[in-house]
Structure 1
Amino acid sequence: MTQTYTWEHWDDPNIRNVAEVAFTDDGLTATGTQYGNGYRATWTLDAADGWITRRVTVEVQGNGWTRTLELTRNDDGEWSSDTTVSGEQPADLPSPGIVDGVDLSDALDCDLGLCPMTNTMPIRRLNLLTDSVPDTQLIMAWIDMPSLQIIASDQYYGSIDQDTVHYRSGTRGVDVELEVDHDGVVIAYPDMARRI
């Protein structure tokens, strides 16, 4: 059985995310759509085993341009990305894919920019809603939207209570308390998104 979630950006209702999620015994698979300023993106995610990202695909379509990403993590923990671009690409968007020299060897998760769905994997894997877990540093394969450029993002997750998680990103200067449901899916992400 799948569950559908919709988030609206905190300040800009034109930015929305919709995700259809199927939970497994030890993970999830999901598909979704992100509506941004000047683009629409569709994505798929496989984190069905151990709440660890195995594969994520994203297609972004703008006015007269498209770019795609397939990001995978193999059993040896090696990440790879395949990308395509077509049409006249916006001049301000960096190239898609893993940035040269970026070390993702410690990363278990993808983090899709502007999409609260990908916070669920570390929340569940670390048992933040059932155990008392201090802030724990993780490295994420962070996917910038809509460029699809991928960098290594250091992030910290810790328990507060069964409905709240402390989240901090050293890469992007974010330090917030996430309100989540019993499945570890974000209800409110201050200054970024809230479920509707």
Structure 2
Amino acid sequence: MPLSAWSRNVRFMPTKPKSLFWTRTDTAGAEHVVFDDGQGLVARGVVLAVDPIPYTCRYQLTAGPDWATTRVEVEVEGAGWSRSVRLEPGGGRWRVTTGEQGDLDAALRAAGHPPAGLPGTDDPDRLADAVDVDLGGSTLFNILPIRRLGLQRAPAESARRIAVAWVLVPSLVVVPAEQVYTSLGPGRVRFASGTFTADLDVDPDGYVVRYPGLAERIDPR
């Protein structure tokens, strides 16, 4: 189902939804999202970047009142190619649906990068332990574990280890990943995955203000 069709079926957003904008600090790019977080989360966003090749990524995300992901749909397109993936949890496993047009691998090779492989996953059972989805290059998706675990206002505490379905961009390959979130006190959360660590500045609602090495939020004056 294309994003435009899904928009007509997701929970209605209020006439004055919230909006956040981040500028990328790792490459030329930005992210803008419009959302309603009155009862869980309904969000529509766009990520733009030029690395590894120029692309536009559009996503829709819904999470329940417990902030566990209920549905994610992503579309990415560039010159001569496009891909899509939809992830839906249910019955102890994730349903992963993909689409592809054009040849992303050819575009990557032309730019001197290795091929991306096929979108989605050939074994959804590998995602069975995941509660959250993490979209590569997006700052918004950090809100899911932060709110679900109540880290935005928590005192400094021990690390919380989680499993996520990590959606790589622009390939939309979906892989299982282990991440660690640690509250450093109100307004500070440490994110770690593998050898990468970043101390995130978050607002009182848990949305990222500054993500070192990825993005900084621009708030209206």
The alignment's TM-score, normalised by the length of structure 2, stands at 0.82
- Per the alignment, residue 87 of structure 1 pairs with 102
Is 1:178–2:212 an aligned residue pair?
Answer: no
Q: Distance in 2 between matches of 1:48 and 1:20?
A: 17
Is 1:44–2:67 an aligned residue pair?
Answer: no
**Alpha-carbon spacing, 1:101–1:51, altered in 2? closer, same or farther (3 Å):** closer
| Per-residue deviation, residues 97-117 of structure 1 (Å, max 9, x unmatched) | 024376212111000001010
1:99/1:149 contact within 8 Å kept: no
Q: 1:70 aligns with which of 86, 98, 104?
A: 86
Q: 2:183 aligns with which of 152, 159, 164?
A: 159
In structure 2, give the amino acid aligned to 1:97. Answer: G
| Per-residue deviation, residues 62-119 of structure 1 (Å, max 9, x unmatched) | 1011111111111x33111110111233242221002437621211100000101000
1:99/1:151 contact within 8 Å kept: no
Deviates more, 1:123-132 or 1:136-145: 123-132
2:152/2:203 contact within 8 Å kept: no
Q: State the secondary structure of the residue aligned to 1:129.
A: coil
| Per-residue deviation, residues 14-37 of structure 1 (Å, max 9, x unmatched) | 221111121023x21100001121
Is 1:129–2:152 an aligned residue pair?
Answer: yes
Deviates more, 1:122-131 or 1:157-166: 122-131
- Per the alignment, residue 34 of structure 2 pairs with 20
Deviates more, 1:106-115 or 1:86-95: 86-95
- Per the alignment, residue 117 of structure 1 pairs with 140
Structure whose alpha-carbon radius of gyration is higher: 2
Q: CA RMSD in A?
A: 1.5
Is 1:34–2:47 an aligned residue pair?
Answer: yes
Q: Distance in 2 between matches of 1:28 and 1:63?
A: 32
Gaps of 5+ in 1: none
Q: Distance in 2 between matches of 1:79 and 1:126?
A: 21
Q: Distance in 2 between matches of 1:98 and 1:24?
A: 32
2:143/2:208 contact within 8 Å kept: yes
Is 1:57–2:73 an aligned residue pair?
Answer: yes
Specify which structure has the higher proportion of strand: 1
In structure 2, give the amino acid aligned to 1:155. Answer: Q
Q: How many residues in Structure 1 have an aligned counterpart in Structure 2?
A: 191
Deviates more, 1:106-115 or 1:76-85: 76-85
Superposition deviation, residue 166 in structure 1 = 1.1
Q: Distance in 1 between matches of 2:76 and 2:152?
A: 33
| Per-residue deviation, residues 99-158 of structure 1 (Å, max 9, x unmatched) | 437621211100000101000011011111233341110001000001000111100011
In structure 2, give the amino acid aligned to 1:180. Answer: V
In structure 1, give the amino acid aligned to 2:73. Answer: T
Instruction: Provide the identity percentage.
Output: 34
Q: State the secondary structure of the residue aligned to 1:79.
A: strand
Gaps of 5+ in 2: 1-15, 107-114
